[in-house]
A and B are shown apart, each in its own frame.
Chain A
Amino acid sequence: MAHRTPLYEAHVAAGAKLVDFAGWDMPIDYGSQIAEHKAVRDNVGMFDVSHMAVVDIHGPDARAFLSAVLANDIAKIDDIGRALYTCVLNTRGGVIDDLIVYHLASERYRAVVNAATAEKDLAWLHSQARGRDVEITHREDLAIIAVQGPRARELAGQAMSDETADAARKLKPFEGFATDGISIGRTGYTGEDGYEIVLPGDRAHDLWRRLQDVGVTPVGLGARDTLRLEAGLNLYGQDMDEDRTPLESGLGWTVAFKPAERQFVGRDALEHMRQQGVSHKLVGLVLEGRGVIRAHAAVRAADSDEDDPDAADGEVTSGSFAPTLGCSIALARIPRDWQDTVEVRIRDRWQPARIVKPPFVRHGKSLIEPD
């Protein structure tokens, strides 16, 4: 049987359509993916993301360990309460996973990693921690509720104790704190403001119900995917994986090459790739016509010769209809030198698409210039 989160019964009661997601029974939607998407853009929604794994890292060597195992620099969050988005790389520079790490207390960090990769991540972290004084704990006792949308902070505050709500209100983006067994970060995966709340599994149902009582809409993983795509955020396994480096996945900005003396796993491979030149880049696409771009669709240079086998050297990594924009958008990996427009294969036709720089939507507003 698939794993179930502490909120499983609440999802069933709310009429969720449940699907197997990385071995978990998770809600894909509660009736309408588009209505849930819009609830987050226009108002506020909440997601059960308890299938993601919480990993606590603590001990005297915790910082040195994370400095060596993360591609971004843990020194950027030396102040307690800060959070950092980063990749974990293999020695070839490929992405083992992407995660957010919070600096919760002295010598104490908390990482939230993808559900599908949790086992692999834990094995990797344990192997890299050998010989260091650091403890790595998979917190299977914890649940995660993300509250996102322009009214997220206001309404989430109403569902918390006064003291917690007060501390949460003071958070700046990418800050977090821990209190009374829960940790709250002002982070998210939707392009909207909001919190990700990590709390004991046996308290999750109570918070979910209180959030629902103050008017927060339950949102399934279907809308989470269209929201994150509009926000131009990568999905592990689609837009990045172990065979591609962050430099080929639009994540060069998350790799800290300075200071030069910090040795992290994958650094040598990335330095080598930078010297050789990166052949492909990850870009945003906006479909010019009707239809929906899907993952794995072929992409070719605009005005390609039908007989040129090298023309279709690009691939869509994520594609969908964008409810906020009313058209189809995608992330695609294409040769470095392609500019402005491309053609995407949709079913049996090549259709023109415009190259844009993600994100497509931020804080409810379209960032796509009209033609």
Chain B
Amino acid sequence: MSDIPKDLSYTKTHEWIGNDGDGTITVGITDYAQSSLGDLVFVELPETGTKVGAGDGVAVVESVKAASDIYAPVDGEIAEINEQLADSPELVNEDPFGQGWLFKMAIDDETALGELLDADAYKGVVDDAED
């Protein structure tokens, strides 16, 4: 049973989004995503300062089994990346909603966050994927 924290937003492509409340968001992959991918061995993160649009592939997580693209959930600019993942990609497996965060974005338009899925809607996505 995957963990789906109530206080986060989600995408259909299994990113989670935390609103930092200061015009930035934190992005990671969900517990379901890390569990499906298996042990992560590399995380390729974007450069800070990169302008990105919602739906753009901005990062790659690679497990022993497969590589998976990570998409920007909204328009904005990459503000910070989780440097720890270069040496410890397993943090994404161990603590996907905490130390395993991927990057932070300064967002162009806060109202875009309203388009994201809430925890209940994302649970529906996971249930469908597991069927």
B-binding residues in A (CB < 8 A): 29, 32-35, 222, 226, 290-292, 294, 320-321, 323, 347
Cβ–Cβ < 8 Å partners of A294 in chain B? 67
Q: Are A321 and B64 in contact (CB under 8 A)?
A: yes
Q: Are A347 and B39 in contact (CB under 8 A)?
A: no
Q: Are B64 and A34 in contact (CB under 8 A)?
A: yes
Q: Are A33 and B39 in contact (CB under 8 A)?
A: yes
Q: Are A222 and B42 in contact (CB under 8 A)?
A: no
Q: Are A292 and B38 in contact (CB under 8 A)?
A: no
Q: Are A33 and B38 in contact (CB under 8 A)?
A: yes
Cβ–Cβ < 8 Å partners of A32 in chain B? 38-39, 93
Cβ–Cβ < 8 Å partners of A321 in chain B? 41-42, 62, 64
A-binding residues in B (CB < 8 A): 38-39, 41-42, 44, 60, 62, 64-65, 67, 93
Cβ–Cβ < 8 Å partners of A320 in chain B? 64
Q: Chain B: interface secondary structure?
A: strand
Partner of B38, one of A222, A291, A347: A222
In whole angstroms, what is the CA distance A32 to B39 when docked?
6
Q: A326: nearest residue on chain B (CB-CB)?
A: B41
Q: Nearest chain A CB to B35's CB is how many angstroms away?
A: 9
In whole angstroms, what is the CA distance A323 to B41 when docked?
9
In whole angstroms, what is the CA distance A290 to B45 when docked?
12
Q: B38: nearest residue on chain A (CB-CB)?
A: A33
A290 touching B38 in the complex, CB below 8 Å, given contacts A222-B65, A347-B60: no
Q: Nearest chain B CB to A240's CB is how many angstroms away?
A: 22
Q: B41: nearest residue on chain A (CB-CB)?
A: A321
Q: A320: nearest residue on chain B (CB-CB)?
A: B64
Partner of B42, one of A34, A35, A292, A323: A292
Cβ–Cβ < 8 Å partners of A291 in chain B? 42, 44, 62
Q: Are A222 and B67 in contact (CB under 8 A)?
A: no
Cβ–Cβ < 8 Å partners of A290 in chain B? 42, 44
Question: Which 10 pairs from chain A and chain B are nearest by CB?
Answer: A34-B39, A321-B41, A292-B62, A321-B64, A33-B39, A33-B64, A290-B42, A33-B38, A32-B39, A320-B64
In whole angstroms, what is the CA distance A32 to B64 when docked?
10
In whole angstroms, what is the CA distance A29 to B37 when docked?
12
In whole angstroms, what is the CA distance A34 to B39 when docked?
7
Cβ–Cβ < 8 Å partners of B44 in chain A? 290-291
In whole angstroms, what is the CA distance A292 to B60 when docked?
11
Q: B42: nearest residue on chain A (CB-CB)?
A: A290
Q: Could you say which of B38, B39, B64 has the most chain A C-beta atoms within 10 Å of its C-beta?
A: B64
Q: Nearest chain B CB to A327's CB is how many angstroms away?
A: 9
